[in-house]
Amino acid sequence: MKPNTNRPLPPVRRTDLRVNEPAGLMDFLLAKMGGMKRNSVKSLLAHRQVSVNGEVATRHDHPLQPGDTVTVSSERGNAPLTHPKVRVIYEDPYLIVIEKKENLLTVRTDNGHEMTAFSILKNHVQKASDRNRIYTVHRLDRETSGVLVFAKSHDVQQAMQAAWHTDVKRRVYVAVVEGRMEKPQDTIVSWLTEHERSLKVHSSPVDDGGQQAVTHYRVVKANDEYSLLEIEIETGRKNQIRVHMQSIGHPVAGDKRYGAKTNPIGRLALHARILDFEHPVTRQPMHFETPVPRKFLHLFH
């Protein structure tokens, strides 16, 4: 008889255990899991079904401290991802945070079969279970590298997107721009409008009905040809940093679309370096930081 493949899958069960005194993870689970054998606990750890304070734990001697929360899931976790275009920074039952490399779309914009950060992560999580899903929370341009967040459920995606402007505390980029900046730091405020046909974004210094965009920058390094900037954005408009840098006469290096005349490192010199936000489920403060790309720094040696 052919099996019923439409039968609903059993719900994922998660058990949260509070730590009251210092202990090793193995001893703690043996004491708390109702007579579970040592080999069964080792299996849970090996299959990435145990997390401590939201992060997967696989070592039996992982140290626990009072106040920690140990979560045991009925579903096997994802094996570590190894991919040249994506590096997983953080993963818990609700979120996956990655560092995306340049020249990779966040998500497909048409019906093609191009590889994207979304497709890479989807294949990754579904190796553990066909039921696993990935949901886009925000995006980075194809040419921009850096920190990118995906949700593991539709509810978490909706919660993060609805509260993005209040829960995201800090978004910091680094960029190499053409020329030496006139000011060591400044704030750019303008109104951005996307052209209907070209899809290119235009900036206006006065309110012309576009979306207001606010960008703060600080010069980190400079020479006669380029400036390395730390850029913090208050708003997340499409192409905001690229358009703002063009508007003040210092386009991002490698950004031919927005006025750059040089391409010294063979890519758009823009990287999403820091992202701080409140976790949509635990409400804990989350901080993710990636290094400045070496190619950026080599221009100033």
Position 188 in a domain: yes
- Same domain, yes or no, for 177 and 268? yes
87 lies in some domain: yes
Domain shared by 223 and 267, yes or no: yes
Question: Which residues form the domain of 261?
Answer: 171-272
Nearest residue to 226 (alpha-carbon basis) of 169, 296, 171, 291? 296
Residue 15 CA to residue 207 CA, distance in Å, equals 52
Task: Please write the tens of the pLDDT for every residue from 32-87.
Answer: 987 788 999 988 888 788 889 878 888 889 999 999 999 988 877 766 787 999 99
How many domains does the chain fold into? 3
Kindly state whether residue 9 falls inside one of the protein's structural domains.
Answer: no
Same domain, 35 and 115: no
Same domain, 133 and 179: no
Question: Would 301 be classed as within a structural domain?
Answer: no
pLDDT band at 129 (very low <50, low <70, confident <90, very high): confident
Q: How far apart are CA 19 and CA 26, in angstroms?
A: 13
Residue where a domain terminates, one of 162, 196, 212: 162
- Decide which of 55, 73, 91 is a domain's last residue: 73
Pick the last residue of a domain from 108, 136, 162.
162
What per-residue confidence (pLDDT) applies to 301? 84
| Judgement on whether residues 33 and 102 belong to the same structural domain of the protein | no
In this predicted structure, the answer to whether residue 4 has a pLDDT above a threshold of 50 is: no
268 in the same domain as 189: yes
Range name among 77-86, 113-122, 251-260, 282-291 with the lowest pLDDT average: 77-86
Domain CATH code at residue 228 = 3.30.2350.10
Residues 250 and 177 in one domain: yes
| Sequence letter at residue 249 | G
Pairing type for strands 50-52 and 55-56 reads antiparallel
Query: What does the pLDDT read at residue 11?
Result: 66
Asked if residue 265 and residue 178 are part of one domain, the reply reads yes
Residue at 47 is within a domain:
yes
Q: What is the pLDDT of residue 9?
A: 45
254 and 179 belong to one structural domain = yes
Same domain, 208 and 256: yes
Whether residue 100 is found in the same domain as residue 125? yes
- 198 shares a domain with 146: no
CATH code at position 48: 3.10.290.10
* 151 is a domain residue: yes
Task: Classify residue 92: in a domain, yes or no.
Answer: yes
Is the residue at 186 inside a domain?
A: yes
Q: What confidence score (pLDDT) does residue 142 get?
A: 93
